[in-house]
Amino acid sequence: MPSEFTSQKETALFQPEHVRRQFPIFEREVAWLDNAATTQRPERVLRAMDEFNRRHNANTRRSVHRLGAEATAAYEGAREVVARFIGAESPAEVIFTPGTTVGINIVANSLAHGGIGPGDEVWISAQEHHGNWVPWLKATQTLGAHLRIIPLLPDGHLDLARFQEGLAGGRVRWVALTWVSNVLGFENDVRAFCAAAHGAGARVLVDAAQAAAHVPMDVRELDCDFLAFSGHKMYGPMGIGVLWGRAELLAQMEPFILGGEMIGRVEEQAATWAEPPYRFEGGTPNVMGAVGLGEAMGWLENLPAGAHEHVSALAREAAQTLAELPGVRILGPAMERVSLVSFCVDGVHAHDVAQVLDGRGIAVRAGHMCAQPLLRRLGVESAVRASFAPYNTMDEVNALVEGVRAAQELFA
């Protein structure tokens, strides 16, 4: 599991260049500050995936030949790595998915769908990514329930008191919220929201897409009911993710994707399902992706001391320095930064800022960040986001600030 944030002394000793050398893509001249969208992959991950493709490629759980057995062992071995990394009780609680969004959809269209009725309530936060907003919007509209929003406090934090008031009505069945906002950049107190929701008999799903690479994950300590995240935001490949769920809840769930090895038995007019987690993994599994994700978790576990605080320090420095530029507005508190900063530049569209930065070899995200309701609450339609990883440097933060200043001058 990733180490806790460390002391200033350890942070000062951390050398991002040593990490950067493990990433072949940095043979190109690029300041990759779009890590919240996708991280780059270290050589260790690339080699593991290549090894699987070259020597072990086969489908899992379907064949008695040697390659099939090797592929199955690799796939299930990766599941065990994930279970340890997140503190699951058992690998059987770990479902491999194509990513966070699919994991959320599995829950919203299965167990949640069967436990929500007319007049019931589902609460999400005002910070949610569309992937944790739209599935619940669709479910409540279909079932005649109500979608309620946990509002923001003036500083951008979630209003726990207002949420607790909403729980008092006794109609809340589900709560879905992000652990780390992909726009505001700070960590929400999901433990407090889980405790409050459970006290009212509601179940909780946590979107950990932006937390997985930076915040130690222990699902038992967090005390949520489901948790979803994506491999490509934590130095693994695209197309692989994880949905963790409590074993007793997974056993109650109907599958969302039907066909392939998720079945128990099929008759002409009836079918039964395999036990979890396999009933939720219909179709050909992404074995190579699971192998890569397992290696990425191993890489994260072996990061040098100070790596995570280094990332946070870069984000804080970027937020503080950008805020000193006239006409630049930082979204969210400047000091509470896990790994990213989003900002707006007066009189310059976010896409124009991003293009100027790209011309200087700096890659950032620009647009609505798949969080349009949140941006509208903040009074903006688009923003620029710079997000950091252990391979980023303070020189890149300085280049970012200079690039924003250049964009201001160009469009003045």
State which CATH number among 3.30.310.10, 3.90.1150.10, 2.60.40.420, 3.90.1640.30 fits the domain covering 8-32+305-411.
3.90.1150.10
Range(s) of the chain covered by CATH 3.40.640.10? 47-301
Known catalytic residue: 370? Answer: yes
Give the integer Cα–Cα distance in Å for 185 and 404.
Answer: 19
Strand partners, 180: 187
- H/E element holding 220? helix 219-222
What local confidence, expressed as pLDDT, does residue 218 receive?
Answer: 97
Assess contact for 28 and 362: CB atoms under 8 A: no
CATH 3.40.640.10 fits 47-301, yes or no: yes
pTM: 0.95
**Considering only CA atoms, which of 311, 309, 321 is closest in space to residue 399?**
321
The SS3 call for residue 173 is strand
What local confidence, expressed as pLDDT, does residue 14 receive?
Answer: 92
**Active-site hit among 194, 224, 344, 370:** 370
What local confidence, expressed as pLDDT, does residue 1 receive?
Answer: 36
Give the integer Cα–Cα distance in Å for 85 and 216.
Answer: 9
Range(s) of the chain covered by CATH 3.90.1150.10? 8-32+305-411
What local confidence, expressed as pLDDT, does residue 12 receive?
Answer: 61
- Along the 412 residues of the chain, how does pLDDT read in single tens digits? 333 434 444 456 799 999 999 999 999 999 999 999 999 999 999 999 999 999 999 998 777 899 999 999 999 999 999 999 999 999 999 999 999 999 999 999 998 888 899 999 999 999 999 999 999 999 999 999 999 999 999 999 999 999 999 999 999 999 999 999 999 999 999 999 999 999 999 999 999 999 999 999 999 999 999 999 999 999 999 999 999 999 999 999 999 889 888 999 999 999 999 999 999 999 999 999 999 999 999 999 999 989 999 999 999 999 999 999 999 999 998 788 999 999 999 999 999 999 999 999 999 999 999 999 999 999 999 999 999 999 999 999 999 999 999 999 999 7
Give the integer Cα–Cα distance in Å for 209 and 367.
Answer: 19
Give the integer Cα–Cα distance in Å for 103 and 81.
Answer: 19
